[in-house]
Amino acid sequence: MSISLPSQPVRGVHPGKLAINRFREQDHLDEAAVDAFLHERQVPIVEGPRCTFLYRGEADEVHLLHRIVNQPQRVPLRRIEGTRLWYVTIELPYGSRVEYQLELRRGDHTVQGNDPLNPQVAHSPVGSSSVCQAYGYETPEWTQVDPDARPGELLDLTLHSKALRRETHNRLYLPARFRTSSTYPLLIVHDGDDYLNYSAMKTVLDNLIHNLDMAETIVVFSNPGDRMREYPNYAPHARHLVAELVPHLEENYPVLRRPEGRALMGASFGAVASMSTAYRNPAMFGSLLLQSGSFVFTDIGDDHGGGPAFDPVVKFMNRYRAKPRKVADRLFVSCGVYEPLIVPNRSMVPVWESTGSTVRYVEARDGHSWENWRDRLRDGLSWIYPGPQKFVYE
Amino acid sequence: MPAEGPAEARPHSEHSASITLLGPQRQPRVDTVLESLGLHGARAAVINAGWREREPEDELLVELAGGNVVNLRLWHRMQEVWEADPEFAAADQQRRMLLEEMQDLYVVALDHVVDALRTMRDRVPRSKQIQQIALGDAERIMQEIDERHLRRVNEIHADFWSRWPPHERRPVQLLRQLIRRDLADTEVVLIPGGHVGVLVGALHLFNIAPQLRVPIVAWGAGAMALTDRVVLFHDRAAHGPSVSELFSQGLGLVRGTVALPAARERLALGNPVRMGVLARRLAPARCLLLDDKVRVDILPGADLPDDAPVLGEDGSLTTMGAVR
């Protein structure tokens, strides 16, 4: 089953001349005019589906850098004569959220950085980027701290792993009103600290549980050692989760001991780790939540274009596609339409469905980013572990 | 004693006193309602087991009722039973596991019929008449699945009660006595909303229905629990609209009625196709829309009043008087 992208409403599309064009048509253009133009204006300027990116300063060339697949990803800005203001307008469909940077060339010197005129910034383990929130995009309110939502507790959980031959460092989320006399479903999250730091996942869990959208759940935020080794279909990783982490949790916490009460989750390579662990341990996990999975495969030959890091992924995916089998009863799969991984993710949906899994597939006008994964958390978490909302009538 | 005659000809109320069903009480009107019934300040029993661990937080309700209130504490008393009688608790847990599994599979089946209905409706028909026949058949299949599901749910409950007669369990016996004493001098019973599964479970465990002989004021899950069939619904769930599902039998004090609290918030009332399927599927029962400010007074042994808001079988919003 799939869910389509949000459609642009018929009304509300900006009909008139763009602000930047009205500015360019002014009789007298100088820095004072630029000051007036920029005063209290949000940048990029979003007018319906058209977004105008700006840079103000001395440069020989300015480029907009983004990663929207199948679009020119290095777009030149034009300087407005008589000023130091540069601009380019691109079209971004309804509901888009795009991360970008600006590249400036001055002589032989080129620098790349965030947009100084835009305070909206997204963070990730590899740095930050500016964010263009296009027409129709709104930061979901359930990603923001709700003072009424009673917070869950986050505990450190260090566990020695014989399988991985290292200490594993996890955080354990216990929902508000946690009681040892109850039993809870279990969710294991790959790249746990990144989900906490860049996708506000603790806040999201607190809010979804408070709003009855999601069942009270014990969540383990696990963290990789050598990520590029442990996540792409690595037997010791799967062994660690299944033979070490889950038994430890079952022994020490009141978690459900049935497949429908166990779920794995991850983004990018973390999604591959989730899927390959479930593949190696059939009937162990009832649900998978896979975000922008790096499910790269080839239909012919070995040339996948992803570099050596993807070799084990492609080997695994090609083998899986040749002989697919059910990895879990329920799969929530999401992907951004602006990322190159959209093609393999779309392609995998019918393959998973052919194994008898129920698949909920969601796309977003977003990229390979932690805020994209944050924004899809409600769809995914409320589906894999629905809250008691359907039972509660005030 | 159940009334005689065909089901659809029987009156909606099986209760010996009046029943008042209300919309959500975020801006509470319980005090005015009780005043209009001449019961403000009268001895009132509160059954708010649907609030679960928040059951004792009843201060506002006590104040609205005029202060002369006894809380039957059914949720806490149910926990006492489970703690005192682990064997009984384990059997109950097994029953709930079976019911959950059954409910999940029932919803899977319903989802497929809903998909089929959508596919048939969206298809450009060569004959409108044939299309309507096929749609009607699919709706009847849905009704059949509903009926079978509810029958099986009832069988599981009946099997549980026969193997574990609650009146033979000592903790239940003791608590039933206490509840009977609490209820003895009450003049009105208030049943607010909350978790409908928990509320209905507690009401059945302590066999409350036969002890209710005074006027009842109920809303939310409380209103649902008084009817003969509890239907779960949420067209605006976080993960998208879900198919409405029959859940269990209620107390059956209000018959031939499916209570739909906060209908405007929870149902796609603007979608007559979807609402029509729901209304026809649950017919001959009436889908009673309990929105803000709605008040439905049902006199002893009488039908729903003419001004009661209900869903028409074409999915429109109408009143009982218009469809009678």
Q: How far B178 CA lies from chain A's nearest CA (Å)?
A: 26
**Strand stretches in chain A, DSSP E:** 2-3, 45-47, 50-56, 61-66, 74-76, 78-79, 85-91, 97-106, 109-113, 121-124, 127-133, 153-161, 166-174, 186-189, 218-221, 262-267, 287-291, 330-336, 358-364, 392-393
Inspect the interface and report whether the beta carbons of B195 and A3 lie closer than 8 Å: no
Q: How far apart are CA B113 and CA B106, in angstroms?
A: 11
pLDDT higher than threshold 70 for residue A1: no
Pairing state between β A127-133 and A97-106:
antiparallel
The per-residue pLDDT for range B198-255, each reduced to its tens digit, is 999 999 999 999 999 999 999 999 999 999 999 999 999 888 888 999 999 999 999 9
Taken as a whole, chain B contains a residue count of 324
Residues on chain B touching A360 (C-beta within 8 angstroms):
239
Of A211, A379, A392, nearest to B194 by CB-CB distance is A392
Residues 6+ apart with CB under 8 A from A28: none
Beta strands in A240-299 (DSSP E): 262-267, 287-291
Torsion on CA atoms B44, B48, B54, B58, rounded to nearest 10: -20
What structural domains does chain A harbor? Answer: 2-133 (2.60.40.10), 141-389 (3.40.50.1820)
CA distances from B32 to B23, B230, B295 (A): 14, 28, 11
Does residue B254 contact residue B227 with C-beta atoms inside 8 Å?
yes
Instruction: Answer whether residue A8 shows pLDDT above 90.
Output: no
Most A-contacting residue of B239, B245, B289, B292 (CB-CB within 10 A), to test interface: B239
Confidence band of B10 (pLDDT split at 50, 70, 90):
confident
What lies within 8 Å, CB to CB, of B44 at 6+ separation is B34, B65, B66, B68, B69, B70, B186, B187, B188, B189, B190
Chain A CB within 8 Å of residue B238 CB: yes
pLDDT tens readout for residues A332-378:
999 999 999 999 999 999 999 999 999 999 999 999 999 999 999 99
Q: Chain A within 8 Å of B24 (Cβ-Cβ)?
A: yes
d(CA A61, CA A77): 8
CB burial string A31-54: b at 16+ within 10 A, e below: eebbeebbeeeebbbbbbbbbbbb
pLDDT at A58 over 60: yes
List the single residue in B with minimal CA-CA distance to A388.
B195
Residue type (1 letter), A34: V
> Does B234 lie at the interface with A, CB-CB under 8 angstroms?
yes
What pTM value is reported for the model? 0.89
Query: What span, in angstroms and rounded, lies between the C-alpha atoms of B148 and B143?
Result: 9
Please state the ipTM of this predicted complex. 0.95
Answer yes or no: is pLDDT of A41 > 90: yes
Q: Would you call B196 and A393 a contact, using CB atoms and an 8 Å cutoff?
A: yes
| pLDDT number for residue A157 | 98
Distance between B223 CA and the closest CA of chain A, angstroms: 9
Q: Span A324-335, mean pLDDT?
A: 98
By C-alpha distance, the chain B residue nearest A384 is B239
Find residue B259's DSSP bridge partners: B288
Mean pLDDT of A206-235: 97
Given a cut of 80, whether residue A7 has pLDDT beyond it is no
Whether the Cβ atoms of residue B280 and residue B244 lie closer than 8 Å to each other = no
Mean local confidence (pLDDT), A26-32: 93
Confidence of residue B1 (pLDDT cuts 50, 70, 90): very low
Q: Does B233 touch chain A (CB under 8 A)?
A: yes
Q: Which residue is it, tokens 């999250």?
A: A189
Of A3, A378, A393, nearest to B262 by CB-CB distance is A393
Please, what is the average pLDDT of chain B?
Answer: 95
Q: Does B232 touch chain A (CB under 8 A)?
A: yes
Per the document, the length of chain A is 394
Residue A160 predicted with pLDDT over 80: yes
For residue A185, is the peptide bond before it cis, meaning its omega torsion is within 30 degrees of 0?
A: no
Longest dimension (CA), chain A: 76
Within an 8 Å CB–CB cutoff, is residue A353 touching chain B? no
Better pLDDT: A290 or A306: A290
CB pairs under 8 A between A and B: 58
d(C-alpha A224, C-alpha A169), whole Å: 8
Confidence of residue B3 (pLDDT cuts 50, 70, 90): very low
SS3 letters across B104-133:
HHHHHHHHHHHHHHHHHHHCCCCCHHHHHH
Query: What band does A383 get if pLDDT is binned at 50, 70 and 90?
Result: very high
Dump pLDDT digits (tens) for A190-204. 999 999 999 999 999
Q: How many CB atoms lie within 10 A of CB A81?
A: 8
* pLDDT number for residue A304: 87
Place of tokens 């079978």: B148
Nearest to A386 among B26, B239, B261 (CB): B239
